[in-house]
Structure 1
Amino acid sequence: MTKKASRVVIVVQARMASTRLPGKVMMTIMGKSLLALMIERLNMIRHWATVVVATSQNTEDDIIENEAGELDIPCYRGSEHNLLDRHYQAAKRFEADVVLKIPSDCPLIDPQAIDQALEFFFANANKYDYVSNLHPATYPDGNDVEIMTMACLQKTWKEASRPMELEHTTPYIWENPDLFRIANVSWATGLDYSMSHRFTIDYQEDFDFIKSVFEELYPTNDDFTCEDIIDLLNRKPEIYNINSMHAGVNWYRHHLNELKTIQPGQTRLASA
């Protein structure tokens, strides 16, 4: 990894509690936890960065702290439900100038997607407080990258108050373009697979999908890209079909009455 300038800290929020798939980050594929596989992919980015796992103080999350130790990754433990505070405190603890939010439910995240967003952010130094590839999203779901200055995160931490803003960390930023300088990076292919392809994990079918992708690609190409996955799915549509019933399902669906910048077409109801 190169291009060391500002201190870049990638915060990976992870905990064992999950309504639909408890313990998902510690589920294993080929003898490695999903968290471990994801950390491998984060460490493939070209930019210099410190990866930090941020978990809760709950006893059930001791296993995540232990896993971080096994991976030689620092771990911060904080609030269970106020993820904004946990994110801010982790970034502060590790003296971040630039903070990345990468959800732990994105084990297939493409390192090139992270680099693309970082390159845009640094090429436009001091122009933007927040850069993401989510507003609007174009990558397959599960390639979520959000970059913010520490000053932006601190302002958000001080001012955000609604439960949704505390739980999801960044809505206060992208919902207030009058307060922050915001930019978005689109998938370089020009395609939009955000509602049709799902590379994230929230259901058992998602795990089965992710497991199939890793087993197909990882043994011969551990740094496979988003395009490699798409190629695999075109060759083997039965893999795409494993979790296609959940494509487009995301947390926005619970807050459409609160979110000003999200339209109904950017989410859909969960499958029965």
Structure 2
Amino acid sequence: MPGADKIVVIVQARMTSSRLPGKVLKPLARKTILEHVIERCSRIAGVDEVSIAMPDDAAQDPLVKFVSGLKNVSFFQGSETNVLERTFLAAKAVGAGTLLRVTSDCPFIDPDISGALLAAYRQSGARYARLPMDRGFPLGFDTEVLSMDLLREVYEADTDEYEQEHVTPYIWRRPEQYGCLMLDHLPSLRHWRLVVDEERDYEFAARVFEELYPAKPEFNFKDLQQLFSDKPELLEINASVAQNPYVK
């Protein structure tokens, strides 16, 4: 039911990735990457709904068809380039009061860590919370939490193209105005690439899921830490993949 307390995960997804087109529907342990993201997001404590926000062009038809056949997930289509607008309208469509924003190329996202961020956000009274972008948890656990009121404020602001494409830069570029609650981790494991941007990332993800998923489909951060301690060579598969920097 719509309302101030409805908590929704908005998963940003599209078929037209420049480095690995169609990656969200690539198979991973008998499911698609997107299914793993949805299932993990649905296990975040306190979340009421998961919704997929995708572009509204014809290239997304396979994604629309696939998501339409899934249970317990909604979807919204909007602008491909103005992802801020797409996210705002997707959250508005499901009556979100609070939203968690994640991307569909993160099949390792940990519900416990995202849930801890959400809990800290709710307890603190902050308007915006996230995992750090340059340190802390591995790349691929990234989660942002913000109120619908704040998202509306940003949507109505005078944003530039970068801020429209990446949704929240308008907030974190203005820390003195909005502040930011961060959930950090020591030692920093940001060099772990638990995200699927290109073929080497996909190869890495497939190998890790082969190792962990059959015995424990709901494997978590601790399981990954143990695996990489036992088999550090796995991290070398995609260690040389360059990550796009964020613009301050």
Could you list the structure 1 runs, at least 4 aligned residues long, displaced by more than 4 angstroms after superposition: none
Does the CA-based 8 Å contact 1:233-1:239 persist in structure 2? Answer: yes
Q: Once the 2 structures are TM-superposed, how far is the Cα of residue 136 of structure 1 from its aligned partner? A: 5.0
Give the C-alpha shift of residue 57 in structure 1.
0.7
The residue aligned with 2:243 is 250
Could you give the per-residue CA deviations for residues 150-176 of structure 1, whole angstroms, max 9, x where no partner exists? Answer: 111011111142110000000001111
Aligned-partner Cα distance in 2 for 1:215–1:43? 22
Structure 1 range deviating more: 81-90 or 44-53: 44-53
Q: How does 1:27-176 map to 2 (within 5 A)?
A: 27-72=26-71, 73-125=73-125, 128-135=126-133, 137-176=135-174
**Secondary structure of residue in 1 paired with 2:177:** coil
Answering whether residue 219 of structure 2 is matched by residue 220 of structure 1, we say no
Deviations 1:209-265 (A, max 9, x none): 11111111111111111121121112112211111112xx43326x3xxx1xxxxxx
Could you tell me whether the CA contact under 8 Å between 2:29 and 2:213 is conserved in 1? no
Partner of 2:245: helix, strand, or coil?
helix
Q: Is the 8 A contact 1:10 1:100 kept in 2?
A: yes
Is 2:4–2:98's contact at 8 Å kept on the other side of the alignment? no
Report the Cα offset of residue 135 of structure 1. 4.9
Q: Is the Cα contact below 8 Å between 2:83 and 2:165 reproduced in 1?
A: yes
Structure 2 CA distance for aligned equivalents of residues 8 and 76 of structure 1 = 16
State the alpha-carbon separation in 2 of the partners of residues 88 and 157 from structure 1.
7
Task: Name the CA distance, whole Å, in 2 between partners of 1:200 and 1:28.
Answer: 15
How far 1:46 moved relative to its partner? Answer: 2.0
Aligned residues: 245
Deviations 1:115-163 (A, max 9, x none): 11011011113xx110001255410100001000111101111114211
- 1:53 and 1:20 mapped to 2: Cα distance? 21
Q: Distance in 1 between matches of 2:45 and 2:146?
A: 18
CA distance in 2, matches of 1:161, 1:175: 11
Q: Which runs of 5+ in 1 are unaligned?
A: 260-272
| Alignment RMSD (CA, Å) | 1.6
What is the one-letter code of the residue matched to 1:184?
A: M
CA–CA separation in structure 2 for the residues paired with 1:124 and 1:115: 14
User: TM-score normalized by structure 2?
Assistant: 0.94
User: Alpha-carbon deviations, 1:155-206, whole Å to 9, x = none?
Assistant: 111114211000000000111123213211113xx22111x21100111010
User: What is the SS of the residue equivalent to 1:143?
Assistant: coil
Instruction: Return the TM-score normalized by structure 1.
Output: 0.86
Q: Separation in 2 of the partners of 1:55 and 1:223?
A: 26
> Are 2:205 and 1:207 equivalent residues in the alignment?
no
Q: Which residue type is aligned with residue 111 of structure 1? A: P
Q: Deviations over 1:13-68 (max 9, x none)?
A: 10011111111111111321100111111112222321000101111112222222
Q: Percentage identity across aligned positions? A: 32
Q: Aligned to 1:55, what secondary structure does the other structure show?
A: strand
Contiguous gaps of at least 5 residues in structure 2 = none
Cα distance between partner residues in 1 of 2:4 and 2:80: 32
Where relative contact order (Cα < 8 A, 6+ residues apart) is larger, the structure is 2
Q: 1:42 to 1:61 in 2, by over 3 A?
A: same
- Measured after TM superposition, the shift of residue 87 of structure 1 is 0.3
8 Å Cα contact 1:44-1:223 kept in structure 2 = no
Q: Report deviation, 1:92.
A: 0.5
Which amino acid is the alignment partner of residue 59 of structure 1? Answer: A
| Alignment-derived partner of residue 237 in structure 1 | 232
